[in-house]
Chain A
Amino acid sequence: MIEESFDAIVVGAGMAGNAAALTMAKKGMKVLQLERGEYAGSKNVQGAILYADMLEKLIPEFREDAPLERHLVEQRFWIMDDRSHVGLHYRSEDFNEERANRYTIIRAQFDRWFSAKVREAGATVLCETTVTDLAQDAYGRVIGVRTDRQDGEIHADVVVLAEGVNGLLGTRARLRERPKTNKVALAVKEMHFLPRETIEARFNLSGDEGVVIEAAGTISGGMTGMGFIYANKECISVGIGCLVADFQRTGKTPYELLDRFKRHPSVAPLIEGSEVKEYSAHLIPEGGYKAIPQLYGDGWVVVGDAAQLNNAIHREGSNLAMTSGRIAAEAIFQVKSRRLAMTKENLALYKRMLDRSFVLKDMKKYKDMPRLMHTNSQNFFLTYPQLISKAMQTYLRVDGTPKSEKQKSTLKSFVNARSWIGLFGDAFRFARAWR
């Protein structure tokens, strides 16, 4: 048993936990961070894109030594059917700036670096330690944690739950619900290794330039989901994720889905001849604003994926995690410096600060999107991609058919598939959810 008591215990050394531990340690607080992996990052999985702005607020000079892969100069969105894709590509020389805005990263390496910064700031980081329970007093107030390491408890004024999407502690202590099958997606990913030059040639890159591809359509087999391809320095991250409820409903297997994505004629040439060095799986919070649990209570706050903070529409999660971790830490520090107790009432400051940040503003903006996507998955992920592909092909194929006939037949195929009411309804619902 660790006899000393801490100002704060942070559970987890992912993006949210590291941001929280670093912020508090820098302010001179006595912080203990617990991580169940052999090293920070050994249990963490992400696509992965790093958003510079949110990290800069924590470590302004991070570009000097952080393990970054490529800075992104190009973003591609693909709507796919089984044989084709319709793409929107945005590439700009402006992204070749000195302080680039987005990078691809490899989480296990990045988190190790991030964790080193946390230690340098003075926090005590204990790896290979699984927290088994929250310690609560007779009134239900959180007073510390219990781990699998020694008998007994470790006490702290406040516990920061940065335990990730599948966090057990908060649910075991009945502070929040277990994630539901329609509120989390299962993503599987492979790391495909190729020589640098091959990656640069295939993706039209030079130096450390990078590109990301987000793809949706029939690749998810009518389920709510997306695929992704991210170019790293010497490997390509290829993955696909769908709602767990959809996997359960359809009986499709995640690995078969990933392999089908890899075999797609638009994807296969990009990874051809590569050596796969890792296969990983992870849940992603997809419930949006309405799935956010109670964020604070007596002696505790919850941050990052454990708090369901993920903007599925913009594929932003790690930056919301970092920001919520930092804001929680700043709120805790304010409560402490006013010499107040870590009560629910006082920790409500965290929620008020998060409300004012982009984190909850963005989440709130898309509060209706998850339900729309989840209840119309057949239309958005199967019917429309097929119709769009067919329309493009009809438009592009030169075969002597008068253009007016082509347009009529395209329109007819949309109306046949969805009816006028269906088309307007979908457009209206989508616009309203986007607004």
Chain B
Amino acid sequence: MKVERSVRVEDKLFCNRYLVDTGRPHIKVRAHTRPSPQLLALLKACPARCYELNDKGQIEVTVDGCMECGTCRVIGEPTGDIEWSYPRGGYGVLFKFG
């Protein structure tokens, strides 16, 4: 599965302000050998491209650029594929304009 790379999401996220809560990710992916269709959908649906496929073909999440929209929660939480919380108070994305 190839993720659309023509738009550099990293560049978009670069202009945002974040306070990353290092070592305390607010989203966790359940351990799996092969990703479910819901997990695969997150590769594309996440607007911050937080989800990526690793060398072993499993889905990993890096929450540093997360905008806390909840899209992955709506898709992935019902099946138990991910665990979703909000970051600790004050941490995470800090919109200047919103």
Contacts and interface: CB of A to CB of B under 8 A. Distances in A.
Given A38-B94, A41-B98, A279-B15, A181 B4 contact: no
Interface string B23-63: 00000000000000010010011011100000000000000
Given A106-B97, A279-B12, A251 B90 contact: no
A283 B71 contact: yes
A190 B12 contact: yes
Contact of B19 (A38, A276, A282): A38
Contacts of A419: none
Contact of A38 (B9, B85, B90, B97): B90
B77 A178 contact: yes
Contacts of B90: 36-38, 127-128
Given A188-B47, A244-B75, A253-B4, A148 B98 contact: no
Contacts of B12: 190, 255, 276, 279
A281 B41 contact: no
Interface residues of B, number: 41
B89 A107 contact: no
A62 interface: no
A271 to B, nearest CB: 14
A279 B45 CA distance: 15
A6 interface: no
Contacts of A44: 95, 98
A334 interface: no
A259 B97 contact: no
B89 A130 contact: yes
Given A36-B87, A148-B88, A252-B44, 16 more contacts: A37-B94, A43-B92, A106-B97, A108-B96, A108-B97, A109-B97, A127-B90, A130-B87, A130-B89, A147-B89, A248-B41, A248-B45, A253-B4, A279-B12, A279-B13, A281-B48
Interface of B: 3-4, 6-7, 9, 12-13, 15-16, 19, 38, 41, 44-45, 47-49, 67-71, 73-75, 77-78, 84-90, 92-98
